[in-house]
Amino acid sequence: MSSNREITFRSAVPADIPVIQDLSASIWREHYPGIITHAQIDYMLENMYAAPVMQDEMRKGYRYILVEQDGAPIGYISYRSEESEHAVMISKLYLFPALHGKGMGRQMLQYVKDDALRMGARLIYLFVNKNNRAAIRAYERFGFSKAEAVKTDIGGGFVMDDFRMELQLGRSSSATLHH
């Protein structure tokens, strides 16, 4: 997996779900030990990446994007527009750990930001585990800031202990007050 080649973005369809499941299993099992337990990793993979769950999210408007290099999948993004809030929520943003620190995560965030701006969003937000320090630093370098601490009971005796991080997007001129 060379880092000097261009990455490409491709909208995922239901037929891509097994590819995303394989990516998630590899990435999570490599990245998350030491951040959350192996039992929680298995539980979250089983519950968040079950084909019916992902199909339902796609039907509900989540955009799943496969990130590829030389035609091979190296990561993925999932996000949704919340039009009433003028926001985009990033649900998933994952890249093989061997490729961290090479600017690819930044390109993935920029992809979402560009799409959010096209949709008229004023805010992008996401949730990140409080112990995922490398990801928090990467989000902060991109311009996100910590908005609040959030604990979520996800069942199975597990809790997600996260920061909600937000990126304010430029307001359009139509939002300017006129006196």
CA atoms within 13 A of residue 139's CA, in its CB half-sphere: 26
Reported confidence tier of residue 4, pLDDT bands at 50, 70, 90? low
The percent of residues in the chain predicted with pLDDT above 90, rounded, is 89
Residue 2, in any domain of the structure:
no
Residue 58, in any domain of the structure:
yes
Question: What average pLDDT does the structure give for the chain?
Answer: 91
Q: Look at residue 33 in the predicted model and tell me its pLDDT.
A: 92
- What is the count of structural domains for the chain? 1
61: left (phi over 0), alpha (psi -120 to 50) or beta: left
Residue 101, in any domain of the structure:
yes
The Cα–Cα gap between 102 and 83 comes to: 32
Residue 11, in any domain of the structure:
yes
Residue 158, in any domain of the structure:
yes
The Cα–Cα gap between 115 and 121 comes to: 9
The Cα–Cα gap between 8 and 32 comes to: 25
CATH code, domain with 124: 3.40.630.30
The Cα–Cα gap between 120 and 122 comes to: 7
26-38: average pLDDT: 94
Question: For residue 90, what is the DSSP state?
Answer: E
Provide the residue range defining the domain that includes 163.
Answer: 7-170
Residue 1, in any domain of the structure:
no
Residue 34, in any domain of the structure:
yes
Q: Look at residue 171 in the predicted model and tell me its pLDDT.
A: 58
Q: Look at residue 130 in the predicted model and tell me its pLDDT.
A: 96
Residue 175, in any domain of the structure:
no
The Cα–Cα gap between 28 and 49 comes to: 12
